[in-house]
Structure 1
Amino acid sequence: MEKSKEQLERPPSEKPAYSIYTSDEKWFIVAVAGLAALFSPFTANIYFPAIPTIANAFNRSIEDINLTVTVYMVVQGVSPMFWGTLADRWGRRPMFNACMLILCLVCVGMALMPTNAYWLLMLLRCLQAAGSASTVALGAGVIADIAEPKERGMYYGIWNIGPMVGPCLGPVLGGVLAEGLGWRSIFWFLAISSGLCFLLILALMPETLRAYVGDGSIPPPRGYQPFIPVIGRKRKSSAPLDPSARPLRRGFINPFRLFLLPDVSLLLFFNGVVYAVFYGVTTSISTLFQDTYPYLTETEVGLCFLAIGGGMLIGGIVTGKVIDREYRRVKDQMIAASEKETDPEKKLSPEEVTKEEHFPIEKARLRLMPLYLGLFVVMC
């Protein structure tokens, strides 16, 4: 069987430790996942500059329209538990496609809805969140599928550009569209862009769930292949075709059982407080700024969100590099301590150091969290 150029260049003993994807292929997969993840905050934030305009169109108070933001955030917080569980069972690719298709269709409905149906606005905002919010969780799962723990921080940092750009670009585009073409154009824009993302995933995104494809060398089940198989095309002839080599698929796991784990609950509470403060600020900017600075147009109000979005964008990239450096620092410390160990039973090899039962992953990832939180509190 003819081998690919990459396989010929690699020594026989050198086998990828975690996945067979090349660096370029990983970046491509992360880029597509990051584009899909952009829609979660983008869909939420593009709406903010138009809140006063939509309130006038529906003849409702600002508080009533803010409730549509509240229900969006509630569904945004809950739906990833279900989509993520389904993705662990049925694969990443079909869940990405389902999320994008739902978002596209719901945005078409919002662009056409009558202004005397406030209840419909509330319902469609819930469905909109159900479609867009889970792309962040799915993207994180994709990175865990293809990247080793030691390099995930870098990939998470770059992948985070998508979710971080959303709060930066969303309000600006929302202000421009609402002022130039009316508030309905916001939802037409979302429908078109999410539809294009759906087609991109359908055409190019490979299945990465390790229960289906292992380290990427096992062909996915029928119907899971992209229409244009760009990833792994050169390796296709050498991939094993034995379906029995595929790992066992997970059964359905009740996501609410995670709340019984104290560490998970603490992390959710911590992030919940931070996001509550964040969205409390971003949701009120359009209303408060128009009252305080009445000379601002909708486009200029949208530009005011650039400060928050820009900080999130830069912070996401920098933090990804920092936590990878922290991971390497802790790993080097453990290797050095192991080399000084005189007891052979306690001595660990460099490969054993990073195993889950030995490596203090919480220390490596969260050691700087108090510093970040303190800075956040001071700035607030």
Structure 2
Amino acid sequence: MTPISQDDDEGRQSDVSTSTETKIVGNKFDRQAPPPYSAFSPQRRRFILGIVTAAGFFGPLSGAIYLPALPLFESIFSASATAINATVSMYMAVFAVAPLLWAASADYGGRKTVYLVSLGIFNFANVLLASLPPNIGALFFLRVLQALGSCGVTSIGAGTVADITEPRRRASALSVFLLGPQIAPVLGPIIGGQFAVPERWRWVFGFLAIACFPVYCMIIFCLPETLRCLVGNGEVHANRGWISAPRFRQAQVVDSKDFPRMPRPNLKSFYRLLKYPPNLIVMISGAFLFAAFYSILITFPRALGDTYGFSEAEVGYAYLASGIPAVFGSLAGGRTSDFLRKRAVRQHGSENIPPERRISTQIYGYILSAAGLLMYGWFCRFHIHVSAALVASGIASFGMTWVFVTSSSYQTECFPTQAASQMALASLLRNVAAAIAAVIIDPLTSSMGFGWCFTGLALLNLLGVVGVLFIMNGTNFQKKFGREEAKPTLSGSKQVDQRK
């Protein structure tokens, strides 16, 4: 099969221990092992992973930390509840759409440049919000800047992880990276609640500026460019120190024939991702999954307050019941996904296997999440002990993050040169689904009751199982729809084109 222009070396690539290339030198055969997928040492890769994980924490955090202070901001900014709530809606709209622009830029022009610009905007907005006199117009404008600056780091970070981590370990690495976006929405209300008083409201934004600054400095001085079409496996940076002089842009130092560059960003490139059926199925199923879990978070104040008599502070700490299982679900899901891929490699004797071999593990996550939703709805309906409802929310959270880490790894293997764009599209669909859930969940629970409402959401989640089975047993999507086909080996500075 002839590759499309976005072909890259990331997908199902062999590791240095499993692949060699034979060269003829004179009359002798010189058998050489190709260079590793990433030239960075394991310690350096963990360091890079830590930086991008910390950066990915701020997007969801800046949205969640704001929520406890909404009633206070009505008096601070002399605005109605509708106007203050509109700042939340505008933030969510920008946070959903803008990552498409950042991700496309990062897939084409480099990761580090986008990190520097986006987080620079984020810090600038936070400093102004914390220091300017209260003004509702300024609040709208600076919240837009805040969302614009913070929204791209999750999708760009996933691209960075794909740049430095070979497929056989990628799900485990992504499971660590996704901890930031998954924990931040839970910790945000707890942190924000500490500042939701008239004397400390500016610290809602001051805390974000202070916490982000050291991460921004580490990106400036310690984060190398990793985009493979610019630096290949990173050998140009791997032999240098971990701290280097700031560089805004990275020139291309590898042959474009060996590490092809994706075309300039355009709508067609996003349409190409959406028209690939497994990709669309994974993203839509993930959107349903996230909307259902978000419905639990939205109903927490009413369910725990009205049904179980929790105070506002107690409701805030109750979010930990879903946040902690999310951590374990992500880590366990990533390791299980990598284990399945490793077993498939062992069975076939080759690293060049379809990424669909790792996706079967999602079935367990969808079933767990559906079970958690079902239990949560009926436990609240019949006023079962509050611990049962909290455990049910944790089960739903565990199942959701179990699915998401495998989805992320699978998608980055399907279209490796557009890894960041993949994550941005998935984030867009999830945020749209969550916004819809936020609007309709209260009317639904009021008219149907908690039990039947969450039963319906559980059934929507189970459609994800049908999608996984379709992907696993479907036709050859790669040949039909032109998915990127990875080149399995590298030699020297060049790739060897070995295709099925």
TM-score (norm 2): 0.59
Asked whether the equivalents of residues 174 and 302 of structure 1 are also in contact (C-alpha less than 8 Å), the reply is no
Aligned position for 2:284: 269
2:94 is the alignment partner of 1:79:
no
Question: Percent same amino acid among aligned pairs?
Answer: 29
Aligned position for 2:325: 311
2:266 is the alignment partner of 1:254:
yes
1:291, distance to aligned residue in structure 2 (A) = 7.8
For the structure 1 residues 276 and 140, does the alpha-carbon distance in structure 2 shift closer, same or farther, using more than 3 Å as the test?
Answer: same
What is the letter of the counterpart of residue 158 of structure 1?
V
* Structure-2 separation of matches of 1:317 and 1:368: 15
Aligned position for 1:374: 370
* Structure-2 separation of matches of 1:373 and 1:287: 21
1:196, distance to aligned residue in structure 2 (A) = 2.2
Asked whether the equivalents of residues 154 and 181 of structure 2 are also in contact (C-alpha less than 8 Å), the reply is yes
* Structure-1 separation of matches of 2:300 and 2:126: 24
For the structure 1 residues 308 and 127, does the alpha-carbon distance in structure 2 shift closer, same or farther, using more than 3 Å as the test?
Answer: farther
Decide which of 307, 316, 329 is 1:302's aligned counterpart.
316
Aligned position for 2:3: none
* Structure-1 separation of matches of 2:117 and 2:149: 8
1:316, distance to aligned residue in structure 2 (A) = 1.7
Decide which of 187, 195, 206 is 1:169's aligned counterpart.
187
Unaligned runs of 5+ in 1: 1-11, 231-240, 336-349
* Structure-2 separation of matches of 1:253 and 1:30: 26
Unaligned runs of 5+ in 2: 1-30, 246-250, 377-453, 455-500
Aligned position for 1:233: none
2:374 is the alignment partner of 1:355:
no
* Structure-1 separation of matches of 2:337 and 2:107: 26
Asked whether the equivalents of residues 231 and 252 of structure 2 are also in contact (C-alpha less than 8 Å), the reply is no
Deviation by residue 1:243-294 (Cα, 9 ceiling, x = unmatched): 4546343321325423344433333322223333444444565688778899
1:373, distance to aligned residue in structure 2 (A) = 3.8
Decide which of 206, 216, 219 is 2:234's aligned counterpart.
216
* Structure-2 separation of matches of 1:32 and 1:314: 21
Aligned residues between the structures: 336
For the structure 1 residues 122 and 242, does the alpha-carbon distance in structure 2 shift closer, same or farther, using more than 3 Å as the test?
Answer: closer
What is the letter of the counterpart of residue 272 of structure 1?
A
2:280 alignment partner, SS class: helix
1:135, distance to aligned residue in structure 2 (A) = 0.7
* Structure-2 separation of matches of 1:30 and 1:304: 29
What is the letter of the counterpart of residue 58 of structure 1?
F
1:132, distance to aligned residue in structure 2 (A) = 1.0
1:40, distance to aligned residue in structure 2 (A) = 1.5
Asked whether the equivalents of residues 111 and 225 of structure 2 are also in contact (C-alpha less than 8 Å), the reply is yes
Aligned position for 1:29: 48
For the structure 1 residues 369 and 315, does the alpha-carbon distance in structure 2 shift closer, same or farther, using more than 3 Å as the test?
Answer: closer
2:198 is the alignment partner of 1:202:
no
1:303, distance to aligned residue in structure 2 (A) = 2.5
* Structure-2 separation of matches of 1:151 and 1:40: 26
Asked whether the equivalents of residues 46 and 186 of structure 1 are also in contact (C-alpha less than 8 Å), the reply is yes
The RMSD of aligned alpha carbons is 3.3
Deviation by residue 1:90-116 (Cα, 9 ceiling, x = unmatched): 111111111211110111232245545
* Structure-1 separation of matches of 2:289 and 2:252: 48
For the structure 1 residues 289 and 61, does the alpha-carbon distance in structure 2 shift closer, same or farther, using more than 3 Å as the test?
Answer: farther
Matches within 5 A, 1:321-340: 321-332=335-346, 334-335=347-348
Asked whether the equivalents of residues 100 and 197 of structure 1 are also in contact (C-alpha less than 8 Å), the reply is no
1:326 alignment partner, SS class: helix
* Structure-2 separation of matches of 1:72 and 1:133: 10
1:250 alignment partner, SS class: coil
2:194 alignment partner, SS class: helix
What is the letter of the counterpart of residue 328 of structure 2?
I
Structure 1 window deviating more from structure 2 (189-198 vs 251-260): it is 251-260
What is the letter of the counterpart of residue 139 of structure 1?
G
For the structure 1 residues 293 and 58, does the alpha-carbon distance in structure 2 shift closer, same or farther, using more than 3 Å as the test?
Answer: farther
TM-score (norm 1): 0.76
Aligned position for 1:102: 121
What is the letter of the counterpart of residue 154 of structure 1?
S
